[in-house]
Amino acid sequence: MSVECPSRPATRTRAVLSAAAALVATVAVLAAPTVAESAQVRTRAILNGDAVPVSFNDGDSFRVLAGTYSGAQARLAGFNTLESHGPVHQWGTWTEKEMFVLAKMAMYHGRTGVWHCTSDGKTDTYGRMLTWCPDLAESLVRAGLAHVMSVDDSPGKPELIEAQREAQAARRGLWAHGVPPFVLTSLHSVEEDTTGEGTYNRLVSTVDGHSVKWKHTDRYDECQKVCHMIYEADDAKVDALTEEVAADGKVARIVGKLSREDLRQAVLEFAKWRHVSRAIDKDRRLEFEAYLQQKVDGGALGSQRGEPGSCMVHVPFERRYGGGRASCLR
């Protein structure tokens, strides 16, 4: 479930922004480089054992400028940084502009080192070459400038999860003003579905980095702010609904093999976050989600109060760059 959320005032002074970060803010926000200018900034990477120049255009991707993979756009696996095309992320007491600074800081962090990377040349759904740079990944995550991410139900790499736990405990970077249960990393309005398979937004767990496909049929306006909602869950009502589900023969084929503990966890996760647990077979999740939503609509969990978790501003891809950028990015 999503809501359009009001923006928070941008007048607070953040102790977390040091003099160096303030300088980055000046460079990144007031004088952000053009794509052409960014392409001139070269960083050395060791890719499959060979030293090659690369150009970082955000914290989790770079373009290879020479060598076997010259011209390839690389998507760095295992972690994610905030979108750097504009002030679009927000959670806790952060403002969108402050989080935009963090996105730019991640990019500049990538440009400061010599990173060791490997790739077999395989690409993701966007045609980007999947590349693993373990030293960069751990450095960014430990600094609180990136979060652990896998693209499916699997948790992230243990060493990155441990680095993220340390960063969260120290309230570094992204985590300085709160840790939402999930980071909203992408938004897709319903008309963006070109395959007929449905539209989804991506949520990434801040505990272990696994991804959730938040499927929906919503149409988002340009510059609309969308939030993943977090709901209060009453334990007694969750227990009662768990027992009701367990006794319902209509869903036995979905939950029949689950222990009562796992079933309660699945009900609890839906109660809090409105998506279905990984314990449910992925081919049955939409069916179980619809079933639980019907129960919730019927009052099974009472009147729940929701608060925004991680939020994001929707801007279609074609309106993110150049002179025709959306007004909220200028």
Fold of 2-9+17-226+310-329: OB fold (Dihydrolipoamide Acetyltransferase, E2P) (2.40.50)
Angle between helices 260-273 and 235-247 (to 10 degrees): 120
Closest by CA to 308, choosing from 16, 11, 81, 94, is 94
Question: What is the Cα–Cα distance from 110 to 55, expressed in whole angstroms?
Answer: 9
Closest by CA to 193, choosing from 213, 175, 179, 178, is 213
What pLDDT sits at residue 194?
A: 81
Q: How far is CA 264 from CA 30, 89, 235, in A?
A: 50, 32, 10
Question: What is the pTM for the complete model shown?
Answer: 0.87
What pLDDT sits at residue 8?
A: 44
Under DSSP, the state recorded for 224 is: -
Which pLDDT tens digit goes with each residue over 165-209?
Answer: 999 999 999 999 999 999 999 999 999 998 888 899 999 999 999
Q: Given strand 89-90, what is the order of strands in its sheet?
A: 2-4, 225-231, 306-313, 89-90
Closest by CA to 152, choosing from 216, 81, 202, is 202
Under DSSP, the state recorded for 299 is: T
Closest by CA to 84, choosing from 327, 321, 310, 316, is 321
What pLDDT sits at residue 18?
A: 46
> In terms of DSSP H, where are the helices of 134-247?
134-142, 158-169, 235-247
Q: How far is CA 127 from CA 63, 69, 74, 75, in A?
A: 12, 13, 9, 9
What pLDDT sits at residue 25?
A: 43
Taking 50 as the pLDDT cut, the residues of the chain under it are 1-4, 6-39
What pLDDT sits at residue 40?
A: 61
What pLDDT sits at residue 5?
A: 52
The DSSP element (H or E) to which 104 belongs, if any, is: helix 96-111
- Give the β-pairing of 115-117 and 43-47: parallel
Closest by CA to 90, choosing from 6, 1, 210, is 6
Count the Cβ atoms, other than its own, within 10 Å of residue 211: 20
Q: Using an 8 Å Cβ cutoff, are 248 and 267 in contact? A: no
What pLDDT sits at residue 126?
A: 87
What DSSP string runs through 166-196?
A: HHHHTT-GGGTT---SEEEEE---GGG--SS
